[in-house]
Amino acid sequence: MRGTPAFKERRPGLWIDRQVLAGEGHSGVVPLLVGLVRLSESAGIDLLDSPASAEVVSKRVGALVTAKTDSEPCLLLARAPLPASFLSMRQPDFSVAGTNGARHDFVRINDYAQHVELQGLVKNVEAQLREGRELWEAARQFAISPAAAKLPGAKFKLCAILDEAFSSVAGVETPRGILGYSFEDPVY
């Protein structure tokens, strides 16, 4: 994303990233659910690509320790379609231009009932890690490190979750550096 301010979450939140694609070979709206995934309950996630190098993972763990925030989501592919009502929701809280020319309209889910509905959709679904293997491995290492012992948020990984029905759409990008969850704040 270019020219995008980081938005640091003080409390856990769920966001819809409605990507409005326009360009050669792709158009339409693709929704992603952006939120925290509990690392301890994600052992069943299918890791498609080869493991990241130890050096890259170590650098990312160091960055997490220093920043005490996670603003680089992994991309998960899941069989958890978002209800159509989430595609036609209220005006976005903010919009940014993506690197590929797409517009990202971010809508924060504030309603408790909607949180419960979305959590239920993705809680026990099969998922594949499509992008960000080094981010995933670093989050898992950080979660068990001594530096994370007093940081409840370190037990979670920021992820963008894409419905597998959109997996073949060209031009979908992971929202990088937009949302950051503070590891220092308690998770409720």
Could you say which residues of the chain have pLDDT below 50?
Answer: 1-5
Q: Is residue 34 packed enough to be buried (19+ CB in 10 Å), middle (13-18) or exposed (0-12)?
A: buried
CA–CA dist 166, 82 (Å, integer): 11
Token pair 């409390």 is found at 11
Q: Is residue 78 packed enough to be buried (19+ CB in 10 Å), middle (13-18) or exposed (0-12)?
A: buried
CA–CA dist 76, 27 (Å, integer): 21
pLDDT at 1: 44
Is 15 in contact with 34 (CB distance < 8 Å)?
yes
Is 36 in contact with 181 (CB distance < 8 Å)?
yes
Question: What values do phi and psi take at 120, rounded to 5?
Answer: -65, -35
- For 119-135, give the DSSP string: HHHHTT--EEEEE-HHH
Token pair for residue 52? Answer: 């990241």
Is 134 in contact with 60 (CB distance < 8 Å)?
yes
Q: Is residue 111 packed enough to be buried (19+ CB in 10 Å), middle (13-18) or exposed (0-12)?
A: exposed
pLDDT at 3: 41
**pLDDT, the chain, mean:** 82
Q: Where are the alpha helices (DSSP H) in 101-162?
A: 112-122, 133-143
Residue ranges covered by each domain of the chain: 7-166+177-182
pLDDT at 29: 85
pLDDT at 74: 92
**C-alpha dihedral (31, 34, 38, 44), degrees to nearest 10:** 30
pTM: 0.84
pLDDT at 78: 86
Tens of pLDDT, residues 66-106: 888 888 999 988 887 777 777 666 789 888 888 878 899 99
